[in-house]
């Protein structure tokens, strides 16, 4: 099936993502930031769907918006935010930070205007029905070792988080 | 006009760069540790967007597999970071990152 009104949806979703990102870094209340981040993540999942990556989109929604953000919200509930809301929100390095970010943005613009010809204008229309199956084959075949390392990393992270958050070890 | 109406890889890369910059600004300027961690998530998401866009450009799936590994790392990073945050809050009763100065010379 041919995609319908792709540019329109791309610009709407990018707008949602950028507005969500700006809200994340400007809100006083961390809960509001977390909700804005969830909005950004959901819009990004839709953009993955536009890029014909349904499995990554599903993982994004389940793991990021569903798992990691719940972890964030739990921690926000555990720590007291009443005091931090009344404090100054930006540190004294904010001018330097914004200058550094602007320089990085200028670098990005320079690279993308110079390297514009590298990226082909017309992308191949691949419509795959077995995206998930192919990714699974690659994960358990070609990327087996990386997969095992990732599971080890998660084990280390679980133990680390428990040890860190425990009162007396 | 043609470049506005025809979505190419470059459009996705520019979106990823903008998201990356928002994350960098958040990391460098905010004082609340929770929001700094959320900004790191923004940065990782920008990288993921680039990976998936390149995967679409080349027609393969390696970029998508790599994006899944990045999501795994993001989960591990969030768990450890928030564990450190809880330990820090227990000791100092604050979530202000400027108070993290024990190793400062």
pLDDT in tens, B19-67: 999 999 999 898 889 999 999 999 999 999 999 998 888 878 899 999 9
Q: Which fold has domain A6-91?
A: 1.20.120
- Average pLDDT score over chain A: 86
Instruction: Kindly state the average pLDDT of the residues A39-43.
Output: 95
Helix pair angle (A30-50, A69-78), 10° resolution: 180
Q: What would the mean pLDDT of A52-57 be, rounded to a whole number?
A: 91
ipTM here: 0.91
Q: Are B23 and B40 in contact, with CB atoms under 8 Å apart?
A: yes
- Helix (H/G/I), strand (E/B), else coil: A88: coil
| Residue A122, pLDDT score | 63
> By percentage, how much of chain A surpasses pLDDT 90?
45
CATH class of this structure's domain B2-97: mainly alpha
What are the extents of the domains in chain A?
6-91, 127-169
C-alpha distance from A144 to closest chain B C-alpha (Å): 11
Q: Is B80 in Cβ contact with A157 (below 8 Å)?
A: yes
Where in chain B are the domains?
2-97
Q: CA B87 to CA B98: how far, in whole Å? A: 16
CB contact under 8 A, B25 and A98: yes
Q: How many CB atoms lie within 10 A of CB B11?
A: 18
B9 to chain A, any CB pair closer than 8 A? The answer is yes
List, in sequence order, every residue forming a beta bridge with B30; answer none if it has no partner. Answer: A90
């Amino acid at each position: 099936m041919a995609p319908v009104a792709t540019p329109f949806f791309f610009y709407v979703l990018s707008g949602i993502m950028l507005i969500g990102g700006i809200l994340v870094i400007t809100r006083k209340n961390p809960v509001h930031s977390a909700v804005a981040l969830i909005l950004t993540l959901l819009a990004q999942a839709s953009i993955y769907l536009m890029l014909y990556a349904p499995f990554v989109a599903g993982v994004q929604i389940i793991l990021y918006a569903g798992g990691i953000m719940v972890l964030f919200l739990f921690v926000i509930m555990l720590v007291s935010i009443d005091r931090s809301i009344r404090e100054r929100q930006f540190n004294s390095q904010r001018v330097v930070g914004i200058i550094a970010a602007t320089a990085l943005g200028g670098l990005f613009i320079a690279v993308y205007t110079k390297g514009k010809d590298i990226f082909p204008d017309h992308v191949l229309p691949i419509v795959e029905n077995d995206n998930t199956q192919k990714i699974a084959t690659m994960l358990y075949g070609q990327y087996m070792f990386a997969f095992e390392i990732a599971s080890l990393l998660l084990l280390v992270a679980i133990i680390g988080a428990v040890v860190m958050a425990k009162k007396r070890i | 006009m043609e470049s506005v109406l025809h979505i190419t890889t470059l459009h996705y890369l520019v979106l990823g760069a903008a998201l990356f910059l928002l994350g960098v600004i958040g990391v460098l300027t905010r004082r609340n540790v929770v929001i700094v961690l959320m900004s790191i998530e923004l940065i990782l998401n920008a990288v993921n967007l680039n990976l998936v866009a390149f995967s679409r450009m080349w027609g393969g799936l390696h970029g998508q597999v790599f994006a899944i590994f990045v999501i795994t790392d993001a989960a591990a990073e969030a768990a450890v970071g928030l564990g450190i945050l809880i330990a820090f809050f227990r000791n100092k009763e604050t979530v202000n990152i400027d108070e993290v100065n024990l190793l400062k010379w």
